[in-house]
Structure 1
Amino acid sequence: MVSSRSDFAALLRTWRDRLSPADAGFSMADGRRVPGLRREELAQLAGLSVDYVLRLEQGRATNPSAQVVGALARALQLSRAERDQLYRSAELLPPQDGKVSTHVPPGIQRLAARLGDIPIGVFTADWTLVWWNTTWSALHGDPATLPTAERNLARALFGNGAAHASMLPVQSERGPDAFAESIVADLKDAVSRYPRDAQLGRLVQELREVSDAFARLWTAQTAAAQHTTDRKTIRHPQIGDILLDCDVLVVPGADLRMVTYTAASGSIEAGKLDLLRVTGSRTATPLP
């Protein structure tokens, strides 16, 4: 057990030192004393507290959950083989085939990090948010303030927990029900492709029990379009309504969706996005 803890702690330190701040979306500011990420930067990327990351790296925090290990693997931009090694060092089974993958390839993370002016969120096949940038947090609120299980778009739309309570009002140009219908259509598709994923099954069962709207859409026989390109009005508490182009880009081979929000250069909406980038995200307290 002691050896396993030491291996996990050593891997965290080694891979944190290896990752370039620029590849993770941070500036290469003068005065850095370490070549890689600072501990607080890793904590921010993984949605964890700095103290918890410190205890993990010192081997004082034991038995990290699979969710914590997955978040660290994404934040460190590990390959699949490295991710599996991190899981095993934490005495956990790596994610198995046949389940919704939460792995975000390093290349996708580097690409998204270099587009920091654009709000970007990366979602899994069941619409769980697994990566986002600071501009996304500025637009939607910081997902790090939510429990990991609540960082799910379907729960935000149809659930009765923290995700639903924190979601800002969003209006699709395709009509009042189009957004919700498309998310349910995507979940149906995910269930058909991942029938053995127990977590996905529990998500669907939960939403059918707590939301009449979800239950109605789930049992509807009419086919709904999946969520792709759209124009949405987001009601932001500081800057008011902002109309943006929302594009959903599918990552081939990874079963991920990269969601971006943009506005035409020189438009009023572009100015509002600029204001969001200046003011930054709402204050967040990372979870332990």
Structure 2
Amino acid sequence: MDDLAGFLRTRRARVDPAAVGIPTDSRRRVEGLRREEVAHLSGVSVDYYVRLEQGRATQPSEQVLDALARVLRLDETEREHLYRLARQRHRRTKAPGGRIRPEVLRVLDLVAGAPAMIMNHRLDVLAGNRLAGLLFGRPMPGLNIARHLFLEEAERGLYADWEHCTLDVVGHLRLATGQYPEDPKLASLIGELAMGSERFRRLWARADVRARTHGRRAYRHPLIGLLELHQENFALPGESGMELLILSAAPGSPAEDGLRLLAGLSADSAEARPPATVRLPD
């Protein structure tokens, strides 16, 4: 329950007391809500809430979780994460395997005009089409997006919105730890990222969660230039933890022309590209 305790503490600290009707003055030294204030607003005893934040309470009821989610002003993604963390003690979820059905790989090959990849919950790229390999300038299997983003310094210039991407990746990995708490490879990856990146450590300590579904992604390819693309994530049925990710360009946009130019590159020219020189802070 340590993950639950940490999540409650970070969510409590971000709630503005005035937003829940608690007057404040200059003498207040606590960031966010106090423990007793959360307990009072959610209708539980102070002792029970303290035990929740210390990881000593028994499994909280649905009513308690609903009340805490309301008081802490959780969005839908955070609410689902709270429920998963509260149930971890009573379940053991096996980490999904990495085998992709041949039929799914055929679908990947049919995506010809946009970079497309299949990734698991650890952000390992299990397969990618030709355009994805040209965009990243490397073979897809063996690439981990989180490691690529935080630890491979020469590659950071590929991400035109690097800071926003780091928020999404850390938020996704937080969700994954709630879904697969017994996955040793996921725990090892998080440890590696924490050892190698100060920014990852700071973001991880915030305990924010984010669901990757869709949104803008901008890449700065060294041979093509800026590519402003739209990302869509499709969960694969029957493939627990796996997603098909497609990066498309709006019709008639400069990015559509850029993808056509990208498609005309050879694999050798893409892999031999000069290293990105943009350096961003940890």
Same fold, judged at TM 0.5 (above): yes
Amino acid at match of 1:123: M
Does the CA-based 8 Å contact 1:156-1:165 persist in structure 2? no
Deviation at 1:259, TM superposition (A): 1.4
Amino acid at match of 2:115: P
Aligned mates of 1:275, 1:262 — CA distance in 2 = 14
Of the three residues 113, 124, 136, the one matched with 1:128 is 124
Amino acid at match of 2:248: T
Tell me the TM-score normalised to structure 2 length: 0.57
Q: CA, structure 1 residues 140+199, in 2 after alignment: closer, same or farther (shift >3 Å)?
A: same
Aligned residue runs from structure 1 range 101-250, under 5 A: 101-143=97-139, 148=142, 151-159=143-151, 163-172=152-161, 177-221=163-207, 223-250=208-235
Q: Give the length in aligned residue pairs.
A: 178
Aligned mates of 1:179, 1:224 — CA distance in 2 = 13
Bigger-Rg structure (1/2)? 2
Q: Secondary structure at the match of 2:127?
A: strand
Aligned residue runs from structure 1 range 4-153, under 5 A: 98-143=94-139, 148=142, 151-153=143-145
Tell me the TM-score normalised to structure 1 length: 0.56
Does the CA-based 8 Å contact 2:175-2:210 persist in structure 1? no
Does the CA-based 8 Å contact 1:127-1:152 persist in structure 2? yes
Deviation at 1:167, TM superposition (A): 4.9
Q: Secondary structure at the match of 1:177?
A: helix
Q: Secondary structure at the match of 1:143?
A: coil
Aligned mates of 1:167, 1:101 — CA distance in 2 = 29
Q: Deviations over 1:15-50 (max 9, x none)?
A: xxxxxxxxxxxxxxxxxxxxxxxxxxxxxxxxxxxx
Aligned mates of 2:228, 2:156 — CA distance in 1 = 16
Q: Secondary structure at the match of 1:253?
A: coil
Deviation at 1:267, TM superposition (A): 2.4
Does the CA-based 8 Å contact 1:179-1:227 persist in structure 2? no
Deviation at 1:224, TM superposition (A): 3.6
Q: Calculate percent identity across the aligned residue pairs.
A: 25
Aligned mates of 2:258, 2:227 — CA distance in 1 = 7
Residue ranges of structure 2 left out of the alignment (5+ in a row): 1-92, 273-282
